[in-house]
Structure 1
Amino acid sequence: MHRSGAAMAWNVFKFCTALRGLGSIMILLVLGVVGVTYYSVVLTNYGPILYDGGLHSLTAVVVLILFHCLLVMLLWSYFTVVLTDPGSVPPNWTPATDEERGEADPLNGSEFNGLRPDPSNQRIRYCRKCNQLKPPRCHHCSVCGRCVLKMDHHCVWVVNCVGALNYKYFLLFLFYTFLETSLVTLALLPHFLAFFSDEEIPGTPGTLATTFLAFVLNLAFALSVLGFLIMHISLVAANTTTIEAYEKKTTPKWPYDLGRKKNFEQVFGTDKRYWLIPAYSDEDLRRMPALQGLEYPSKPDFDSQEF
Structure 2
Amino acid sequence: MVKIRWKIKQIPLAIFKKFLDKCQYVKTCLRSLTYNHHMSQDYASDVALEPIIWIVDNFAGFLGPFFVVAVAVLTSTVVVFAHLVGLPYWWEKSPAMTIFLITFGYWLLMNVTFHYIMAVFTPPGGPPDKELYDAVSICKKCLTPKPARTHHCSICNKCILKMDHHCPWLNNCVGFANHRYFFMYMLYTVIGSMFLIVFGIEIAYNVLWLADDGEWTETEPLEGHPITYNLTGHIVPISEMNEYRDNTIEPTDGTIVQSEAELYRVFIRRSLTFMAFINVAVVIALGLLTMWHAKLIYHGETSIEAHINAKETKRLAARGRTYRNPYDFGPKKNFQIFLGLVNGRSFWRHFLFPSTHKPEEDGTVFETINSVPTSNNWP
TM over 0.5: yes
Maintained 8 Å contact 1:36/1:214: no
Long gaps (5+) in structure 2: 1-45, 216-260, 313-322, 373-379
Give CA deviations for 1:19-45 in whole Å, capped at 9, x if unaligned.
111222112211222222122211223
Counterparts in 2 of 1:153 and 1:7: CA distance versus 1, 3 Å: closer
Aligned match of 2:14: none
Q: Counterpart amino acid of 1:63?
A: L
Maintained 8 Å contact 1:235/1:245: yes
Aligned match of 1:250: 311
Aligned match of 2:201: 189
Aligned match of 1:56: 94
Q: Give the Cα separation in 2 of the matches to 1:10 and 1:242.
A: 22
1:183-262 equivalent positions in 2, closer than 5 A: 183-193=195-205, 194-197=207-210, 198-199=212-213, 203-251=264-312, 252-262=323-333
Aligned match of 1:65: 103
Long gaps (5+) in structure 1: 99-123, 303-307
Maintained 8 Å contact 2:89/2:203: no
- Pick from 108, 120, 123 the counterpart of residue 82 of structure 1: 120
Aligned match of 1:171: 183
Residue 6 of structure 1 deviates from its aligned partner by 11
Maintained 8 Å contact 1:239/1:263: yes
Shifted more, 169-178 versus 227-236: the winner is 227-236
Shifted more, 61-70 versus 79-88: the winner is 61-70
Shifted more, 206-215 versus 134-143: the winner is 206-215
Q: Counterpart amino acid of 2:81?
A: S
- Pick from 15, 28, 31 the counterpart of residue 69 of structure 2: 28
The TM-score with structure 1 as length reference comes to 0.78
- Pick from 169, 193, 214 the counterpart of residue 157 of structure 1: 169
- Pick from 360, 368, 376 the counterpart of residue 298 of structure 1: 368
Q: Counterpart amino acid of 2:102?
A: L
Q: Counterpart amino acid of 1:212?
A: T
Q: Counterpart amino acid of 2:94?
A: H
Q: Give the Cα separation in 2 of the matches to 1:171 and 1:81.
A: 9
Aligned match of 1:279: 355
The TM-score with structure 2 as length reference comes to 0.64
Counterparts in 2 of 1:215 and 1:7: CA distance versus 1, 3 Å: closer
CA RMSD of the aligned region, Å? Answer: 2.8
Q: Counterpart amino acid of 2:199?
A: A
Counterparts in 2 of 1:277 and 1:163: CA distance versus 1, 3 Å: farther
Q: Give the Cα separation in 2 of the matches to 1:215 and 1:259.
A: 38
- Pick from 137, 155, 158 the counterpart of residue 125 of structure 1: 137
Identity level (%) = 24
Shifted more, 293-302 versus 146-155: the winner is 293-302
Q: Give the Cα separation in 2 of the matches to 1:245 and 1:135.
A: 18
Residue 301 of structure 1 deviates from its aligned partner by 7.5
Q: Which runs of 4+ in 1 moved over 6 A?
A: 5-8
Counterparts in 2 of 1:184 and 1:8: CA distance versus 1, 3 Å: closer
1:88 partner SS: coil
Counterparts in 2 of 1:136 and 1:276: CA distance versus 1, 3 Å: farther
Give CA deviations for 1:190-249 in whole Å, capped at 9, x if unaligned.
222231334357733233212210122111101222211211111111110011001111
Shifted more, 77-86 versus 199-208: the winner is 199-208
Residue 157 of structure 1 deviates from its aligned partner by 1.4
Residue 160 of structure 1 deviates from its aligned partner by 0.9
Maintained 8 Å contact 1:36/1:210: no
Q: Give the Cα separation in 1 of the matches to 2:339 and 2:49.
A: 40
Maintained 8 Å contact 1:138/1:151: yes
- Pick from 264, 274, 277 the counterpart of residue 335 of structure 2: 264
